[in-house]
Amino acid sequence: MKKETIIAIFFGLLFGGVVAVFISLKSKDIELSKNKVIVPPAEKIVSPNSGGIEMQPLILTEPANNAIIEKNIIRFKGTAAKDSLMVIQSPIKDLIVKNTQEKFDLEFPLALGENSIKIVVYPKEKQFRPQEKFIKVYFIDSEL
């Protein structure tokens, strides 16, 4: 056997080995991505009288309860049932809006100091009960 042939066989085997290792690693990744656990979405509320209709619960992502804010305006962000009536009340402001989409992003003024805020969502489907949240937000001026 010629030496060139042996070298060719050697490099052929080496290249084959590299390709084999690459393919086995790649197939493992594909298998993992296929079998990965999918986190269930936020639990939806189902009314016993609603014939299986699900309702988006009120989720407030911003602001957090007892948050300290340095500005006199905050934004309420979160999700609530589509087409529900939202009432947000504080000592200085009453905000009534129809939540046309599930996500909401609403501007709300704050008074200096403590702000007790009640948020109530009245779903369009009358068989569902209103959902409520009560939070306290503190507006402490950064200049103080």
Partner 1 sequence: MIKNIKNCFIVTLLYFLLTGSIAIAQTPSVTASSSPTVAVDKDIQQLKDKIANKVSEIRKQNNKAISGFVLNIDENTMKLSTDGEVNQVKFDDALTKVFKVLGTTKKEIKKENISKNDYAIVSGVVTDNMITANVVLIDENFVADSGKITEINKDSYNIKVLTSDKNTYSLDIETTTKQYMVNIKTLLLETIGFSKLKEGDTVHFVVKKTGLEKGNNYSATKILIVPQEYFIK
CB of 126 to partner 1, least distance (A): 6
87 binds partner 1 (CB under 8 A): yes
> Under the criterion CB under 8 A, does residue 114 sit at the interface with partner 1?
yes
Using rule CB under 8 A, residue 45 touches partner 1: no
> How many Cβ atoms sit within 10 Å of the Cβ of residue 122?
16
The answer to whether residue 100 forms part of the interface with partner 1 (CB under 8 A) is: no
> Applying CB under 8 A, does 73 fall inside the site for partner 1?
no
Stretch touching partner 1 by CB under 8 A, among 19-27, 30-38, 54-62, 133-141: 133-141
Residues 6+ positions from 69 with CB-CB distance below 8 Å:
63, 110, 137, 138, 139, 140
The answer, yes or no, to whether the previous bond of 48 is cis (omega within 30 of 0) is: no
d(CA 21, CA 34): 20
Total number of residues that touch partner 1 (CB under 8 A): 33
Residue with tokens 């009534």: 96
Told to check if 97 binds partner 1 by CB under 8 A, we report: yes
- C-beta of 31 vs 70, nearer to partner 1: 70
Q: Rounded to the nearest 5°, which phi and psi values hold at 73?
A: -140, 140
Residue 126 in contact with partner 1, rule: CB under 8 A: yes
